[in-house]
């Protein structure tokens, strides 16, 4: 079983996240919106009454009245707060007001705060009904002093301000839910982008080609700023350096017949073959471009020559005919179109006519560039590769499957066909 290598190009990963920024923003907005829909935006009323502990306490043993120092007041406040929210007080309030709720339910509505320096206690009741909040708060302020006096010995607790209700919306809760929703959207979107990145199986970077596919990257075709590069168009300025480098590589290699193919679906294959031929023709070099795709004739169609009845197929059948009679001179290159598309291209290519034709053409041209069908289950490209000097594999970034590239490379290796390297295309096709 073939071991699958796993590589991560951090720069490409960050670039993917950058390109997916709209997905991330959209998810953040959607999740925050969902949080806004579910969060409690009810208007509540908080009724608050103020009470003060008296400054005397009766000694239980002597019956003497003593002044309570501020420190002692502060110590009494926690106890008083517990008493106010005790079942005894709350049950009495419920009974007096005939409220249909339990002490525990009512306790959830009551809060007590205190100023330790002044011994002023603020008893608050929160409710969705203003009148209810005021009524309950005032009743608590009425009931609790007796219980505080009985349990603490404090002489008394005075009501210094009856309950006053103020409306409020839980803005903090809303903001918290919005933040939680936005953060959840951020995590979800990043996870989605990363999962899609790692599971789509496409070639993402030069690093992957070199390390996983173990092929040298002969050149990279970056995305053009203007219209995407296509066959029968001039070389975009962004691609000029790459094709110049390729020309230098091939001139030093001594390789004459170059097969250009691709693994799986690849929209750039024919374009690369044509642009490579034009680049090699610089300096008045005689270069022949052959449309070796007898199944679709994609390059011939792009060059406006698909309807030509005479082409490669014609020469493979009529082996004695002079090739010059079917060649088309285009700019600084010569092209041999596909011609009529036969019913069984592989059988026609498998005859001895193909190597004999290439032998004749080698004598007249410095370079011969052949555009072939993609390598899937179709064997046409491998047939061409057996008679060529080398093969170049075109890979579309974020489109070509790594599994297809491995399959293609393995097939060529089993047949003894040299795969010189890969051209990584970043153009959208």
- Which strand ranges, in their side-by-side order, compose the sheet holding 110-115? 110-115, 120-127, 44-53, 157-168
Closest CA to 262 of 97, 66, 399: 399
Residue where a domain terminates, one of 99, 134, 161: 161
pLDDT class of 230 with cuts at 50, 70, 90: low
Q: Are 190 and 216 contained in the same domain? A: no
Reading the block at residue 262, the tokens are 């691709």
- Count of alpha carbons within 13 angstroms of residue 304, beta-carbon side: 5
In this structure, what is the dihedral angle of CA atoms 243, 244, 249, 251, given to the nearest 10 degrees? 110
Residues spanned by the domain of 36: 10-40+172-198
Reading the block at residue 367, the tokens are 């370079």
- Element of type H or E holding 315: helix 312-317
Q: Per residue in 127-173, pLDDT tens?
A: 888 899 999 999 998 988 888 878 776 667 778 888 888 887 666 66
Let me know if residue 83 belongs to a domain: yes
In this structure, what is the dihedral angle of CA atoms 224, 230, 236, 241, given to the nearest 10 degrees? 100
Give residue 165's region: left, alpha or beta (phi > 0; psi -120 to 50): beta
Mean pLDDT (whole number) for 68-90: 68
DSSP 64: -
CATH code where residue 51 lies: 3.30.70.1130
Does 60 or 21 have the greater pLDDT score?
A: 21
Let me know if residue 397 belongs to a domain: yes
Q: Are 135 and 209 contained in the same domain? A: no
Overall residue count recorded for the chain in this entry = 429
Q: Are 85 and 152 contained in the same domain? A: yes
CATH code where residue 418 lies: 3.40.50.300
| Alpha carbon separation from 220 to 27, 154, 202, 215, 270 (Å, rounded) | 33, 87, 16, 13, 16
Q: Per residue in 263-286, pLDDT tens?
A: 877 778 889 999 999 999 987 789
Q: Are 228 and 329 contained in the same domain? A: yes
| Alpha carbon separation from 325 to 194, 320, 328, 337 (Å, rounded) | 55, 12, 9, 12
Q: Are 130 and 188 contained in the same domain? A: no
Let me know if residue 252 belongs to a domain: yes
- Element of type H or E holding 393: strand 390-396
C-alpha to C-alpha distance for 122 and 87, rounded to whole angstroms: 19
Which of 80-84, 341-345, 355-359 has the largest mean confidence?
A: 355-359
Mean pLDDT (whole number) for 102-118: 85
Q: How many other C-beta atoms lie within 10 A of the C-beta of residue 189?
A: 22
Map tokens 């929160």 to a residue: 126
* Angle separating helix axes 10-19 and 171-199, nearest 10 degrees: 130
C-alpha to C-alpha distance for 183 and 313, rounded to whole angstroms: 62
In this structure, what is the dihedral angle of CA atoms 250, 255, 260, 262, given to the nearest 10 degrees? -90
Q: Are 123 and 193 contained in the same domain? A: no
pLDDT class of 74 with cuts at 50, 70, 90: very low
Reading the block at residue 207, the tokens are 């690093």
pLDDT class of 226 with cuts at 50, 70, 90: low
């Amino acid at each position: 079983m073939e071991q699958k290598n796993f590589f991560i190009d951090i720069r490409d990963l960050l670039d993917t996240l950058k390109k997916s920024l709209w997905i991330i923003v959209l998810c953040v907005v959607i999740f925050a919106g969902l949080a806004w829909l579910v969060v409690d935006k009810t208007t509540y009323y908080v009724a608050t009454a103020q009470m003060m502990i008296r400054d005397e306490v009766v000694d239980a043993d002597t019956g003497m009245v003593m002044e309570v120092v501020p420190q002692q007041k502060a110590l009494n406040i926690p106890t008083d707060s517990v008493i106010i929210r005790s079942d005894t007080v709350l049950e009495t309030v419920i009974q007096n007001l005939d409220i249909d709720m339990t002490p525990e339910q009512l306790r959830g509505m009551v809060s007590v705060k205190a100023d330790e320096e002044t011994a002023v206690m603020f008893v608050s009741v929160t409710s969705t009904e203003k009148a209810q909040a005021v009524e309950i708060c005032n009743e608590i302020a009425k009931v609790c002093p007796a219980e505080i006096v009985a349990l603490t010995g404090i002489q008394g607790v005075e009501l210094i301000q009856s309950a006053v209700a103020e409306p409020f919306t839980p803005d903090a809760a809303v903001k918290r839910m919005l933040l939680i929703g936005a953060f959840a959207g951020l995590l979800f979107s990043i996870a989605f982008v990363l999962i899609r990145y790692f599971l789509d199986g496409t070639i993402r970077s030069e690093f992957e080609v070199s390390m996983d596919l173990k092929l040298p990257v002969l050149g990279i075709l970056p995305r053009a700023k203007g219209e995407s590069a296509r066959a029968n168009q001039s070389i975009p300025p962004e691609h000029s350096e790459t094709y110049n480098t390729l020309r230098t590589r091939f001139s030093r290699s001594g390789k004459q017949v170059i097969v250009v193919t691709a693994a799986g679906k690849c929209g750039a294959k024919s374009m690369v073959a044509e642009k490579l031929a034009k680049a090699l023709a610089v300096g008045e070099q005689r270069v022949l471009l052959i449309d070796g795709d007898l199944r679709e004739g994609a390059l011939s169609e792009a060059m406006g020559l698909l309807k030509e009845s005479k082409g490669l197929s014609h020469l493979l059948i009529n082996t004695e005919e002079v090739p010059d009679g079917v060649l088309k001179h285009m700019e600084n290159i010569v092209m041999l179109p596909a011609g009529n598309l036969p019913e069984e291209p592989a059988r026609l290519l498998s005859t001895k006519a193909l190597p004999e034709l290439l032998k004749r053409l080698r004598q007249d041209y410095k370079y011969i560039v052949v555009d072939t069908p993609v390598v899937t289950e179709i064997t046409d490209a491998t047939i061409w590769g057996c008679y060529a000097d080398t093969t170049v594999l075109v890979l579309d970034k974020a489109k070509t499957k790594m599994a297809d590239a491995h399959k293609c490379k393995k097939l060529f290796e089993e047949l003894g066909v040299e795969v010189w390297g890969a051209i990584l295309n970043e153009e959208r096709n």
